[in-house]
Amino acid sequence: MAIELKERPTPPAPRQITTKPRLSDQVFRTVVTIGGMASLVILGLIAIFLSIKGMHILVDEKFNFITESRWEVITDETGEVIEANFGIGAMLIGTMLSATIAILVGVPISVLSALYLTFYANGKLKKVLISVIDLMAAFPSLLFGFWGFFIFMSSAEYWAKLINKYLGFIPLFDVPTPIFERSPFIAGLVLAIMIIPIVTSISREIFDQTPLDRVQAAYALGATKLSMIKAVVIPYGRGGIIGGAMLGLGRAMGETVAVYTVLNVVYQVNWQVLFGAGGNVASLILLKFGEAGPYEVDALMAAGLILFLLTLIVNATADFLINRFGGKGR
């Protein structure tokens, strides 16, 4: 006898679950949403403004704008533009070179000082150091530029000569003529000092949050302070360090006045970090803005747009890196 299978009852359709928030919640939600959207809107408006002003230059110059290195405007007696050629290739290279040097030098110093502040300094010294570093963040960048130009340059020049003498066989450290002043190397070092406060603060904050139970677990296994930091603190803080470094990189790429003061603006692609030629996009804009006619201003806006996009790419990369490598130690 066959067992007649009973038909399963059809499950009911899922209910619609709704929550009616209270008025106070709705109001607060609106306020918070406006706050959250404000930065997005402002940033978007700036991007649109730069695009509108600069787009026709980009259309005219096409890829030459980022590959070529020249900045020529020829006008007739009435001020009418006859011919113009714009290309910020050298400035983009200069931006990336000096920012990279800044990161390579600034981030290790920042991480070490954050480790010192979190795990070694105590009492008054710690408080004083933290306020000094925070003060550094608020220091006008022009003063960093002046200090870099008048005081720091001579020592940095000496280091550059040393590096060139002993490592000159590496193309990066070679120079075509012995001009070591106002090089990407020196600009990078000044930028390194400028990003130390932000990278230090962020690293310090994340090191401070290292779960105490893991720290204790390491010590209870006979760890020295150094091995505890390597096994527990660094894996935990890696994402934060990368995030801080990327914020520093953003600042280094966008820095204007300090770079303008210590770096020669030369329209020539220069990979040789010790050689006194370069310039970055922001300092180019500062240099040209004062005397530029309307057409040239549009070209500067286009340069701004490119810098904007570059920064955007860097931040997206940072996000990617944090998600990829930051999560493991948490």
**236 contacts other proteins (rule: CB under 8 A):** yes
CB 95 within 8 A of CB 272: no
One of 218, 246, 249, 318 touching other proteins (CB under 8 A): 218
Does 47 contact other proteins by CB under 8 A? no
Q: Does the protein bind other proteins through residue 322 (CB under 8 A)?
A: no
Task: Please give the size of the binding site for other proteins, defined by CB under 8 A.
Answer: 21
Per rule CB under 8 A, is residue 217 in the interface with other proteins? Answer: yes
The packing angle between helices 281-289 and 294-321, to 10°, is: 160
Q: What is the spatial distance between Cα 210 and Cα 97, in angstroms, rounded to a whole number?
A: 34
Query: What are all long-range contacts of 60-69, with beta carbons under 8 Å and residues at least 24 apart?
Result: 61/85, 61/86, 61/87, 61/302, 65/302, 65/306, 66/92, 66/306, 69/267, 69/268, 69/269
Nearer Cβ to other proteins (70/225) = 225
Among 43, 48, 59, 221, which residue sits at the site for other proteins (rule: CB under 8 A)? 221
Asked if residue 228 binds other proteins (CB under 8 A), the reply is yes
Q: Which one among 35, 79, 222, 294 touches other proteins, defined by CB under 8 A? A: 222
Given 116, 146, 147, 219, the residue binding other proteins (CB under 8 A) = 219
Can residue 323 be called a binding residue for other proteins (CB under 8 A)? no
If the CB atoms of residues 163 and 217 are measured against other proteins, the closer one turns out to be 217
Give residues with Cβ within 8 angstroms of 163, minimum separation 6: 173, 185, 274
Identity of the residue numbered 80: E
Q: How far is the CB of 118 from other proteins (least distance, A)?
A: 13
- List helix spans (H) across the chain: 23-61, 64-67, 89-115, 123-138, 141-147, 153-167, 184-208, 212-220, 225-228, 234-254, 257-262, 281-289, 294-321
231 binds other proteins (CB under 8 A): yes
Nearer to other proteins by Cβ, of 72 and 208: the residue is: 208
Indicate whether 127 belongs to the interface with other proteins (CB under 8 A).
no
Spatial separation of the C-alpha atoms in residues 71 and 32, rounded to whole Å: 45
Q: What is the DSSP letter of 278?
A: B
How many Å apart are CA 233 and CA 211, to the nearest integer? 9
Kindly tell me which residue out of 73, 121, 179, 235 binds other proteins, with binding defined by CB under 8 A.
235
Contacting range for other proteins; rule: CB under 8 A; set: 100-108, 146-154, 228-236, 278-286? 228-236
Contacting other proteins within 185-214 (CB under 8 A): 211, 213-214
Please, what is the minimum distance in Å from the beta carbon of residue 217 to other proteins? 5
Shortest spacing between CB 125 and other proteins, in angstroms: 15
Rg (CA), the chain: 27
Query: Least distance in Å: CB of 232 to other proteins?
Result: 7
> Do 133 and 196 form a contact (C-beta atoms < 8 A)?
yes
Contact (CB, 8 A) for 272 and 176 = yes
Task: Assign 80 to helix, strand or coil.
Answer: coil
- Tell me the closest approach of the beta carbon of residue 230 to other proteins, in angstroms: 9
Q: Which of 3, 40, 138, 220 binds other proteins (CB under 8 A)?
A: 220
Q: Does 328 bind other proteins (CB under 8 A)?
A: yes
Interacting residue ranges for other proteins, rule: CB under 8 A:
211, 213-214, 216-224, 227-228, 231-232, 235-236, 328-330
